[in-house]
Structure 1
Amino acid sequence: MVTIYDIAEKAGVSAMTVSRVINNAGRISEKTRTKVKRVMDELGYVPNQMARSLVLQETRLLFLMITDITNPFYTTLARGAEDAAKKHGYRLLFGNTDEDLEKENDYIDAVLKTRADGVLLAPAGDASLPHLEMLRRHRVPFVLLDREVPGMDSDVVLGDSKEGARQLVKQLVGGGHRRIALINGSRTISSARERLEGYREALKLNDLTYDEALVLETSFGPRSDLTVIEAWLDRMRPLPTAFVAGNNVLAVELMRALRSRGLRVPEDASLVCFDELASYAEMDPFLTVISQQAYQFGYLGMQMLLDRIQSRDEQAPGWRKIVLPAELIVRRSVRQL
C-alpha cells in the first residue's frame, strides 16, 4: 500500500508537506502542490479517509433521512439536498424510515457510528424527540424538513400546510361541493395537524359543519392500509361528493378504493391533494394539487445545515425557520356541481 512517505521520497519533499497537500491545509506553493499531486497519481495513492477524519474532526459525510422513498415529493427533495451537498464538497448518505420509529433509531445510530458531520431529516413524528435529543447530546448538527417536533428548537424548512389545505377546500366549495371529506396523516405529525386545522378553518369560513366521521387519520407513507380506507368509505352515507388528500400517496390509495367500487374521479367523486404525483403524470396532468417546492426543501435545508456545521465552533446563529409558499394548480379532478 502506498503511504505518504513513499510520495514524499519520490517528490523530494517532507511527509508533512504531502499531508498538507492531501488535507488542503497550510501554505504550500502551487508548484509544490502540483508536483505532489502528480506523484500521488503516478503511484495510485488513495487517501485514508478515516485517518483524515480523525485529524480534521470531519468526515465530509452528511446524512439525509426521509420517511418515504416512494413519494415523489421526497425524491425531488433528495435531489435538491444532494445538489447542495455536492456543490460544497460533501457526500450524502441516505436513510428511509417509513415513519417507523425503530428504523429511525437505527439510522440515528448509523449517523453516530459513521461520524457524519450533520443530518437533514424529516422526522417520523412527535415521538422522534428522543432521537433528536441524542443528536444534540453528541453535538451532531441537524435541520428538520417538512415537520417540526414539539420540545425541540432547531432549524427547519416547512411548507405552509394550513394555507394549502384552505386553498384546496376553497377550490372544492367553489365547485359547489358541500360535503367534503379529508384523508390525512397521523395527528402525531405536525404537517398533518396543520392540514387538518386548515381544512377545519376553511369549512368554518364557508359555513360548513365539521364532521369527525368525514375525516380519516392514517399513515402518510406506504404503510397506509387500503382496507381501512375502504371501511371508511363504507361508513359514510351518503358518500361525500369531494375529498381532500393530505398527500399524493393517500390520493392514489383513495382512487384505488373508489375504483374498486366502480367510482370514477371526477365523475362520481372529486379529489384534490397535496404534492404532485410521479413525473410520468406530467404526460397527462390530472389532479388538482397544492404543489410544494420540493427541490427547494432539500436545497435550502442543506444550505442551512452547512451553515450550522461551519458555525459550530463560532458564535452559532439563532434557530431559523423557512416557510415555503405553495402553489394551487387547478386541473381536471374537480367536477362542477
Structure 2
Amino acid sequence: MENFVAPKRSVTVADVAKAAKVSKATAARVLGGYGVVSDKIRVQVMAAATALDYRPNELARSMTTGKSGIIGVVVGDIENAFFSLAVRGISDVARVAGFNVIIANSGEELDAEKSAVDLLIGKRVDGLIVTPSRCDRMEHLQDVRRVGVPLVLFDRSIPELGVDSVTGDDRDAAIAATRHLLEVGHRRIAYISALDADNDQITDSRQLSNSAVRERVEGFLSVLTDAGLKNAQHYVRLGATDQERTDAVLKRLLEEVSPPTALVASDSLIGLRLFRSLQSFGLSIPRDLSMISFLDADWTTVTTPPITVVDQPVYEMGKKAAERLISRLNGKELPVERATVKTSLIQRGSVAAPPPTAS
C-alpha cells in the first residue's frame, strides 16, 4: 500500500505575523503594501515571510485592497515581432512598478478581443492596454470605461473613446517610405496589408477599420497624388493574411498590364511573406522589384539583400503605454494623451531604380 502524503498547508498571513511577533493586521499591511508601518517592522515581517516561503493569496489581497496588482494586455498577433517587442516593453515597466501582466492574443478578431477583455475584467485586473482590432467598433471598450478600469490603447487610436493612446507616426512614416521610392524613380508602387477584407482592393481609405493601416495608406496616397500620379489607390491591396493569400495578392498585381515596380509591406510579417513570394516567383530584389517593410525585424538584416525598413521604436512604445497606465493606477490626474512616437527610415539594399523595361 502506498504511503499517503498530505499536501503541505499554505503559509498564511497569521503564520507570518506569529513568526515576526507582530499582529496579523500589521503583517497584512506589510505584505499587502498598504498602510503605514515602521522600517524596522517591515524588515521584520519580510524576513519572516521569506523564512516561511510565504506566497501571497492574490484573490484575498484583491478583496482586501481592491487591487489585484495585475495589468491586462490584449494584442493583435503575438506571432508578429512588433507585438512581441511591445509586450516586452510593457512587462519590463510593469515589473519594476510591482505589477504582473496577463497577455491575451486577439488574432485581430473582434469577437476574440471582446472575450479577452471580458475575461480580464473578470480577473479584476487593475488596468488594461489594448490594441483594438477595429477602430470602428468600441462598445466593449466603452464598457471598460464605464466600470472604471483605466485603459490605454496601443498602436491604434480611437479619439472619440476619450482614452490615452500610444501610436507610431504612421502617416509620416508611410510618407517617408513612399518619397524614398519616388526619389529613385518608381511610379507604380503597391502598398500591401494583412487587413482582412471581402475585396483585396479599397474604394475609400477612410473606411479602413484599423487606424494605423488607414493613416499609413493615407500617407502613401498623399505622396503619390501630390506627385501627379493617377489611380494610386489601385495599387493598395488588402488581405495578405497568410502565405497563400499573400502569394495570390502579389500574383494578381504582377499579372496586371502595368505591374508595380516597388512594394511597401505594412508590417514585418507581410514583408517576410512578400520576400518568400518573390523568391517562389523567381524574382529578385531589387533587380525586378524594390521593397520596403515596416519594422526593423531581425529577418530584414539577414536576407540578400537586406531590407530597407521603417524603424519603429516598438519597445519604447510599449514602455510608454505601461508608464501612462501605471501613472493613472497610482492616482495621478492626467489629461487624455494621444502620444505619437517618431519613426525613421533605414536605407539598405532592397531599393534601387526600377528596371529599364518598366515603362
Q: TM-score, with normalisation over the residues of structure 1?
A: 0.91
Query: Is 2:189 aligned against 1:180?
Result: yes
Deviation for aligned residue 1:175? 1.0
For residues 36 and 187 of structure 2, the distance between their equivalents in structure 1, rounded to whole angstroms, comes to 72
Give the corresponding residue for 2:343: 326
Q: Return the alpha-carbon distance in structure 1 between the equivalents of residues 75 and 244 of structure 2.
A: 17
The 3-state SS of whatever aligns with 2:161 is coil
Alignment of 1:211-290 (within 5 A): 211-218=232-239, 225-277=245-297, 279-283=298-302, 286-290=306-310
Is the Cα–Cα contact under 8 Å of residues 272 and 333 in structure 1 kept in the other structure? yes
1:42 paired to 2:62: no
C-alpha separation in 2, matches of 1:130 and 1:334: 43
Gaps of 5+ in 1: none
How many residues in Structure 1 have an aligned counterpart in Structure 2? 332
Per-residue deviation at 1:63?
A: 1.2
Q: CA deviation at 1:66?
A: 1.0
1:89-110 CA-to-partner distances (Å, cap 9, x unmatched) read: 1111111111111211121111
Q: Is the 8 A contact 1:65 1:96 kept in 2?
A: yes
| Residue 229 (structure 2) aligned to one of 208, 216, 224 | 208
Give the superposition deviation at 1:119.
Answer: 0.9
Q: Is the 8 A contact 1:181 1:244 kept in 2?
A: yes
- CA 1:205 to 1:33, structure 2 compared with 1: closer, same or farther past 3 Å? same
8 A contact 1:68–1:222 mirrored in 2: no
CA distance in 2, matches of 1:304, 1:91: 16
* Residue in 2 that maps onto 1:74: 83
**RMSD, aligned CA:** 2.1
Matched, 1:15 2:24: yes
The Cα of 1:41 is off from its aligned counterpart by 3.1
Q: 1:317 aligns with which of 315, 331, 334?
A: 334
Deviates more, 1:1-10 or 1:235-244: 1-10
Secondary structure, counterpart of 2:264 in structure 1: strand
User: Identity, % of aligned pairs?
Assistant: 31
Contact 1:258 1:264 in 2 (8 A): yes
Matched ranges for 1:34-113 at <5 A = 34-113=43-122
> Map of 1:123-142 to 2, 5 A cutoff?
123-142=132-151
Does residue 31 (structure 1) correspond to residue 40 (structure 2)? The answer is: yes
How far apart are the structure 2 equivalents of 1:30 and 1:239? 72
| Residue 203 of structure 2: aligned partner | none
| 8 Å CA contact retained: 2:70, 2:127 | yes
User: How many Å separate the matches in 2 of 1:98 and 1:8?
Assistant: 46
CA distance in 2, matches of 1:49, 1:296: 29
Match of 1:300 in 2: 320
Distance 1:30 1:138, change over 3 A: same
Please give the secondary structure, in 1, of the residue aligned with 2:284. coil
Q: Which amino acid aligns with 1:12?
A: K
Q: Cα deviation per residue 1:164-208 (whole Å; 9 max; x = unaligned)? A: 111111111111111111112532101111111111111122222
TM-score between the two structures when normalised by the length of structure 2: 0.86
1:258 Cα deviation after fit: 2.3
C-alpha distance in 2, partners of 1:222/1:81?
Answer: 27
Q: How many angstroms apart in 1 are the aligned matches of 2:292 and 2:111?
A: 32
Paired residues for 1:142-181 under 5 Å: 142-149=151-158, 151-181=160-190
Q: For the structure 1 residues 163 and 36, does the alpha-carbon distance in structure 2 shift closer, same or farther, using more than 3 Å as the test?
A: closer
- Structure-1 separation of matches of 2:172 and 2:231: 17
